[in-house]
Amino acid sequence: MGSVVPSTGLKEGEKVLWSGKPRLVGFLGSIIFSIILILLMIIPFIGWITAIIGVIILVLIVLRVNATTYLVTNMRVLREYRLIGRNMQETTLDHITDIVFHQGLFGRLFNFGIVHIHTAGTGFIGIHFQAVGDPMTVRGTIINAKDSYRQVERFKESPVVQRETITKEVVMVQCEYCKSLMPQTSTFCPNCGAKRKI
């Protein structure tokens, strides 16, 4: 998947691990409702009013999908909504407490769902990736990024003697691309964001 880098840009050393937008099929209920309103235009007098409402709902859904960006990097998780104004929620990986996802019946059929990213120490309770495609993969990417971030930061901040102990506890390997150290359990390199060849 191509990177959808938000207009805010990335920090120094930050790499995109996953990016995406809401899937239009995730709003199927609202889309069907709006189509029904449009079809009611055949009713005399009030039909044109329902049709206008239906068109407005459709336009708002399309704008919402196009204006929303979800991003997972080796440093943070971010949700940005940019249309006329800009609304952005982000949290660093070390502030994430839980990552859960929900899929209903249609979500399982069309492979989309909601990923809930719970946080601590922030001004909000969490970030939600709504109608995101392949939510299981998104959740796994965030978990791997969080684990890699925590282990690498612990490794960097520890004294030399403690580093040797940590290295024994957590086997460190070298990234095939940027040559930086990372935990062997990591799927993505926390420095360059490249996926390991396992």
Report yes or no on 6 lying in a domain. Answer: no
Report yes or no on 66 lying in a domain. Answer: yes
Report yes or no on 4 lying in a domain. Answer: no
Report yes or no on 171 lying in a domain. Answer: yes
Report yes or no on 191 lying in a domain. Answer: no
User: Residue 114's domain spans which residues?
Assistant: 16-183
Report yes or no on 1 lying in a domain. Answer: no
Report yes or no on 7 lying in a domain. Answer: no
Residue 114 region, left (φ>0) first, then alpha (ψ -120 to 50), else beta?
beta
Tens place of pLDDT for every residue, the chain, 198 residues? 444 455 447 777 788 889 999 999 999 999 999 999 999 888 888 888 999 999 999 999 999 999 999 999 988 999 999 888 888 888 889 889 888 889 988 889 999 999 999 887 666 678 999 999 999 989 989 988 888 877 766 656 655 545 455 444 555 666 777 666 667 777 776 666 667 776
Quick count: other Cβ atoms within 10 Å of Cβ 198? 6
- Structure tokens given for 36: 């029904």
Report yes or no on 8 lying in a domain. Answer: no
Residue 37 region, left (φ>0) first, then alpha (ψ -120 to 50), else beta?
alpha
Give the count of domains, the chain: 1
